[in-house]
Chains A and B, each alone.
Chain A
Amino acid sequence: MSSRKDQNAAARMVREQIAREQRRKRTMWISIAAVSALVIAGLIGWAIYAGGKTTDYTAPKGANSAGTGIVSGTGPVVVDEYVDYLCPHCKSFHDEAAASIQQLANDGKITLVTHPVAYLDGASTNRYSTRASAAAGCAAEYGKFTEYTDTLFQNQPAEGGAGPSDDDLIVFGRQVGLGEDFAQCVKDKRFINWTNHVSEEAGRAGVSGTPTVMVNGKPVQASSTAIAAAVAAAAGTTTPSAGTS
């Protein structure tokens, strides 16, 4: 009787040990699966990002040699402005400073490079930032970048909803005298890859938000007075040939 009891106890111990072993194994496999899931998730993100990166682009007419922005003027001091057509602060910056900056370019004091980046695609439901920037590329191709930029900021949609459609963007173009070839360019999405390139290179240049203004490569507050002061200072310290790239 007592020996049977011992046998039972021994059998139970064995069973418990097997159960423990099974549990240990299961925990191990679950852990391996969980770690794999984490690694795969990271790789998926990497793959999607790498797949979306475009190296093949055509810059519109009027772009700088690096293809990262549209040039206006030929002055000695380089002013880079990075704007997103959906960004409210870019609109207020444009309303306040665009005329005086354009004047500096017209007076031959600065070379203005406008980089229409698409940073805020997450802030519209139809990728307005990218489409507006690509349409601005079309406008540059047909010689009306500055006018078209003015119109886009005048018609800036609110963040969070759907921005103007491609058809709307074509109508804005007609308002500043752009024709059928511009309309076709927008429909063909010809400069979407260029927009991606502009955004990518802006990020590489350390631009993490919009609007960002740089005078000869140094960040300057986005206001007409700050820019004018920085341009005056830069003009005083650099020879006319320096600063352009």
Chain B
Amino acid sequence: MTWHRVQPWVSLAARLGLGGIFVTAGWLKVTDLAASGRAVNAYQIMPYDLAMVIGAAQPFVEIVVGLLLLFGLATRLAAWAGAVMMVAFIAGIASAWSRGLNIDCGCFSKGGPLPPGVTPNYLPDILRDVAFLAMAIFLIIYPVSRFSLDARLDRPSAALAPDDVLEEENSEQPSERRRQRL
């Protein structure tokens, strides 16, 4: 009962937190797509040209995932996208670490307020991404949250198919409520 009441708020916090992180991370990289591509290339996982394309696309995808989460639209799908990206980031950092690469992770920014990832910071980087992954997984399991567009879009259909409760109420209230929704 209490969990039932608390969960939408926890989901809201996870949604706003993760969404804010994605928008910020994307925004910090979107101003210099070539630099973002070089950061991907530094991992030496894929060929240069592919790394540059991934690096250019990534900030935009991050921003869209972040916005979806912030607005609570297609929450579960956005959380899946976020989780997949986090797994990729964790794998990338772990791979760089295991190969002894001495690189600037550049995973989240090129020197913004979010952890910029200086040279030997692989472990904190991974732990941070694991925490973000946990938030994404929570949202996959509990996508229903407070103040989400998903919930807002769900309600008018109940109004369109009038149920018994509406019939019992006086005629003014529901129409007023309907107007507010519109």
Which residues of A line the B interface, CB within 8 A?
A: 12, 15-16, 18-19, 22-23, 26, 30-31, 33-35, 37-38, 41-46, 48-50, 52, 119-123, 199-200, 203-204, 206, 208-209
Chain B stretch 88-109: residues in CB contact (< 8 A) with chain A = 103-104
Contacts of A203 in B (CB 8 A): 34, 37-38, 41, 48, 52
Task: Report if B65 contacts A (CB, 8 A).
Answer: yes
Taking a contact as CB atoms under 8 Å apart, the answer to whether A208 and B104 are in contact is yes
Chain B stretch 27-58: residues in CB contact (< 8 A) with chain A = 30-35, 37-39, 41-42, 44, 48, 52-53, 55-58
Taking a contact as CB atoms under 8 Å apart, the answer to whether A41 and B60 are in contact is yes
Taking a contact as CB atoms under 8 Å apart, the answer to whether B60 and A42 are in contact is yes
The 6 closest A-B pairs by CB, nearest first: A49-B56, A208-B42, A42-B57, A34-B74, A122-B32, A41-B60
Contacts of A22 in B (CB 8 A): 157
Contacts of B73 in A (CB 8 A): 30, 34
Shortest Cβ distance from A118 into B: residue: B34
Q: 24 A-B pairs, CB-CB below 8 angstroms?
A: A12-B163, A15-B163, A19-B161, A22-B157, A23-B157, A34-B73, A34-B74, A42-B57, A45-B56, A45-B57, A45-B58, A45-B59, A46-B57, A49-B37, A52-B33, A52-B34, A119-B35, A122-B32, A122-B35, A123-B111, A199-B34, A204-B48, A206-B41, A206-B44
Please report whether the interface of chain A is mostly helix, strand, loop or mixed according to DSSP. helix
Partner among B64, B81, B154 whose Cβ is within 8 Å of the Cβ of A23? B154
Contacts of A50 in B (CB 8 A): 53, 56
Taking a contact as CB atoms under 8 Å apart, the answer to whether A30 and B34 are in contact is no
Taking a contact as CB atoms under 8 Å apart, the answer to whether B77 and A31 are in contact is yes
Which residues of B line the A interface, CB within 8 A?
A: 30-35, 37-39, 41-42, 44, 48, 52-53, 55-61, 63-65, 68, 73-74, 77-78, 81, 103-104, 110-111, 150, 153-154, 157-158, 161, 163-164
Shortest Cβ distance from A15 into B: residue: B161
Q: How near does chain A come to B152, taking the closest CB pair, in angstroms?
A: 12
Taking a contact as CB atoms under 8 Å apart, the answer to whether A119 and B61 are in contact is no
Alpha-carbon separation in the docked complex, A23 to B158 (Å): 10
Taking a contact as CB atoms under 8 Å apart, the answer to whether A35 and B77 are in contact is yes
Taking a contact as CB atoms under 8 Å apart, the answer to whether A49 and B157 are in contact is no
Q: How near does chain A come to B10, taking the closest CB pair, in angstroms?
A: 22
Q: How near does chain A come to B80, taking the closest CB pair, in angstroms?
A: 10
Contacts of A12 in B (CB 8 A): 163-164
Residue of A38, A120, A200 with most partner-chain B CB within 10 A? A38
